[in-house]
Structure 1
């Protein structure tokens, strides 16, 4: 009996250990990438909390793809074991996910960290930007392939080219198909070609495009129609709301009953302002802390609008009862520019001692948008471990420019505590570092290189208006220090 029990335990342990995610090492990595046409690789550390949270989702995604008979491979690399391999691929945080199409084609993973999102994203990567659909059976199958698919109906090459251009730019987000069969086009209710239909698993099921057939218009249409009329904001949907470019109205709710009540009363308003403002519920119990980012108190229900382009927030008076009629008026005033944003800002320092200038929301325009200086800004959070690791290097970088009179007049190294100050930039992670060149403040350049003093200094030199070479300044200072006479040797001994 004991032997039988031991055998069962061993069998269960072996089953639990079975994984559809491939474990790679430095010795096996190159051959594996070369042998598989499409690989999603996770670079992780066992102690990382985000990696632990991702693990079951990643495993489930690998299993789903395997069951579908897909050739897409999901792999993982332990960076505490293979640090050299992770260093070669520029891994600075965990988890980092990258898409490999052979060793020479590598791109960052751009989807959410949920199993269904991982599967959806990688399936899109495996297909051509536009799939050719020849008959009704294939169209039905294509419609069922994802929650949102976009199909173009054409009879000319020029329109088809425009559609392919749109598909290339949005291939990470949607599946695109193309049909040229006249009978199938007519059966789908497309009266004129070129035509485009967004098929979706929510709202009315599909949306037909009308208007000038241009890439910009089609992109706006696709992003707008991919948002549910009254959806819910969460980890898997937040990014799509932000990337839509449409202002986002949040309604914080505590219970399912409260949620359903607001959906019923606000759906007509959501239809009224579709394309101008997206309205969605958010679970106040699970994500109540997000109210702080919208300058709301954590008392429910609550309502606020975020302009995703400027990151400005407009809060509904929390001392008043929230009614559909009042929200209708509030949204209309927002659209017409009759409401002032609610600004969250820390107190600015009375004296800036340097070498890193402290920016607040109230001093952002004055400091960051100073057209006489190249300004490098670190958007950080006090709780962020990566920000803490960067801090001494960033201070060292600041000192290079601060202690040189000519450099100080042209380059400013600055930082802003982003959770405690509203900023007009879309910051999605910490630290985020951007350079605002003196001659082009409207187009800041994000730094994506290694977080080193040398790398940041080179970035300023290459992208700033004044091309100030911080590394050269630092090297000269070091030489001067080394060549300085030993003062003690100049004194006579007593």
Structure 2
């Protein structure tokens, strides 16, 4: 390629990148969130990697949702300081009535869209029996409280916890003449659970927190100790692409559900946490890859790289470990990809 051609391509690429965000001025921002207008606002610092990663997720939403705004905190530093923006990106929903709600979920287009829909509803949607079935499927995670009017204290507690977690789940309620109960619908994982013994003061918060835990979570430094201290073995899946990790979650749900009492399945962003792979017997830089760790005994079992990562294969590999048919990793990386201590049946 000629230098002039390369320069032209590079120039177009830079122009595309710079013009991708369409930032709003401080004056237009204040106008947008006043007068009963709602808006979802991304406060960003364009040079940071997390903000650059958000860009590709944000733009497709902005094409269809006209209530999205982005603020460049490098040029609107005073405004961002006024709203206590200390990390980037920060996403907040302004309801047009002076209310503001932070978004703490995944920075993915689908998750952000779901949050925007929740934000436009009250913290707790009042339901009738006719609307019950439809509302139970309105989101990935839905809580529905069947409230006896005599249990006013539970109603208040439910309203409080719904306001706390509305950015990540949908909450509804309806009256019942029977015993008060709360039902959780984890629609992506096709799981349902309920609680009716709400006498303990922490019963409802614990139930909500447990139900909101994904069947297959994303392993990070922030939640590392939670997983390592859970008393379960861990199945790690490393990949450099979110597409691979999302596909793994969809594929492994049946296996994760089958073994959830004994195993925690997690995905790992190999770009950010690639250094965690080597101690798990995964050759540096060889992704995607899977490994099983038993924290209690300090054992790891790298998954044979020659095998496809299917639900059937991984399920069989886990059973082979349980039955002692797979030897723990000896600390040496195999020269040959097929040189793994796994006895095929």
TM-score, normalization by structure 1:
0.46
Measured after TM superposition, the shift of residue 153 of structure 1 is 0.7
**For 1:91-490, what aligned pairs fall within 5 Å after superposition?**
91-102=85-96, 105-136=99-130, 138-155=131-148, 156=150, 157-181=152-176, 192-229=178-215, 231=216, 233=218, 249-253=233-237, 267-270=257-260, 272-273=261-262, 279-282=264-267, 289=274, 291=276, 296-299=280-283, 301-304=290-293, 315-318=298-301, 323-324=318-319, 326=321
Q: Residues 83 and 208 (structure 1 numbering): CA distance in 2 closer, same or farther, change over 3 Å?
A: closer
Measured after TM superposition, the shift of residue 149 of structure 1 is 0.5
Measured after TM superposition, the shift of residue 22 of structure 1 is 7.0
Measured after TM superposition, the shift of residue 81 of structure 1 is 3.1
The structure showing larger relative contact order (alpha-carbon pairs under 8 Å, at least 6 residues apart) is 2
For the residues of structure 1 that align with 2:70 and 2:250, how far apart are their CA atoms? Answer: 41
Which residue does the alignment assign to 1:60? Answer: 60
Which residue does the alignment assign to 1:455? Answer: none
Q: Residues 200 and 262 (structure 1 numbering): CA distance in 2 closer, same or farther, change over 3 Å?
A: closer
Measured after TM superposition, the shift of residue 163 of structure 1 is 2.4
Measured after TM superposition, the shift of residue 52 of structure 1 is 2.4
Measured after TM superposition, the shift of residue 106 of structure 1 is 4.2
For the residues of structure 2 that align with 1:22 and 1:135, how far apart are their CA atoms? Answer: 44
Which residue does the alignment assign to 1:399? Answer: none
For the residues of structure 2 that align with 1:213 and 1:305, how far apart are their CA atoms? Answer: 36
- Which secondary structure does the structure 1 equivalent of 2:91 belong to? strand
Q: Could you tell me whether the CA contact under 8 Å between 1:151 and 1:196 is conserved in 2?
A: yes
Measured after TM superposition, the shift of residue 53 of structure 1 is 1.9
What are the superposed Cα offsets for residues 196-253 of structure 1, whole Å, 9 maximum, x if unpaired? Answer: 1112214444222243444522222223233454x25379xx97x969x956753134
- Which secondary structure does the structure 1 equivalent of 2:43 belong to? strand
Which residue does the alignment assign to 1:476? Answer: none
Which residue does the alignment assign to 1:442? Answer: none
For the residues of structure 2 that align with 1:258 and 1:61, how far apart are their CA atoms? Answer: 25
For the residues of structure 2 that align with 1:96 and 1:149, how far apart are their CA atoms? Answer: 25
- Which secondary structure does the structure 1 equivalent of 2:79 belong to? helix
Measured after TM superposition, the shift of residue 172 of structure 1 is 2.6
The two structures, once aligned, show a CA RMSD in angstroms of: 4.5
What are the superposed Cα offsets for residues 447-491 of structure 1, whole Å, 9 maximum, x if unpaired? Answer: xxxxxxxxxxxxxxxxxxxxxxxxxxxxxxxxxxxxxxxxxxxxx
What are the superposed Cα offsets for residues 244-282 of structure 1, whole Å, 9 maximum, x if unpaired? Answer: x95675313479999999876665432x34xxxx61143
Which residue does the alignment assign to 2:72? Answer: 78
Which residue does the alignment assign to 1:405? Answer: none
What residue ranges of structure 2 are gaps of 5+ in the alignment? 1-15, 284-288, 305-316, 325-345
Which residue does the alignment assign to 1:344? Answer: none
For the residues of structure 2 that align with 1:78 and 1:261, how far apart are their CA atoms? Answer: 39
For the residues of structure 1 that align with 2:226 and 2:291, how far apart are their CA atoms? Answer: 20
Q: Could you tell me whether the CA contact under 8 Å between 1:131 and 1:176 is conserved in 2?
A: yes
